[in-house]
Amino acid sequence: MESASDRLSGGSGAGTGVSPSGGPGVGSGRRTDARYAIGELCEAFGVTARALRFYEDEQLIAPERRGTSRFYSDRDRARLVWILRGKRVGFSLNEIRELLDLYDVGDQRRTQRRVTIERCRQKIAALKRQKHDIDTTIAELEDFLTTLGSSSERSRNDKGSED
């Protein structure tokens, strides 16, 4: 029998063989009818149940409800991979939603792939600009400290010569 950890291996999302639609990717060998309890996904991805319920409220994932229990499909699991990766690299939930929704355009994910690449390149360019600005600010602060250090050295020397 397949354990929860066997079904959920690859929590980082890299090489999971699952597309954002939740269907098995090429060569994944995954069942298409898998269902995961909330605790299984929390453990596998290091998120809280509250976070999963929030993503559900935001309509980013749509677990099956049976009474008070939620059961997540491969589609939800794959979307969670995208959500968490998107958050890690600085995309807003609205940006993540837009990218996820492009999966259902019906063009074998070409639009989703093209737009995701474009957004990633934009994010990289913005981060490089921020890094440059930060490096410039650090250099300015270091220069300022050097100036202040020189001033305090002169001040101490001046006081020492008065004795």
Angle at 52 between CA 21 and CA 26, to 5 degrees: 25
Q: Are 83 and 41 in a shared domain?
A: yes
CATH label of the domain that carries residue 13:
1.10.1660.10
Half-sphere exposure (Cβ direction) of 158: Cα atoms closer than 13 Å: 6
Q: What is the pLDDT of residue 105?
A: 84
Q: What's the rounded Cα separation, in Å, for the pair 153 and 156? A: 5
Task: Report if residue 99 sits inside a domain.
Answer: no
Q: What's the rounded Cα separation, in Å, for the pair 99 and 28? A: 22
Q: What is the pLDDT along the chain (163 residues), one digit of tens a residue?
A: 444 444 444 444 444 444 444 444 434 445 557 899 999 999 999 999 999 999 999 999 999 999 999 999 999 999 999 999 999 999 999 999 999 999 888 898 899 999 999 999 999 999 999 999 999 999 999 999 999 987 766 666 666 666 5
Q: Are 81 and 141 in a shared domain?
A: no
Closest CA to 30 of 44, 17, 11, 43: 17
Q: What's the rounded Cα separation, in Å, for the pair 75 and 96? A: 15
pTM of the model: 0.67
Closest CA to 60 of 88, 22, 29: 22
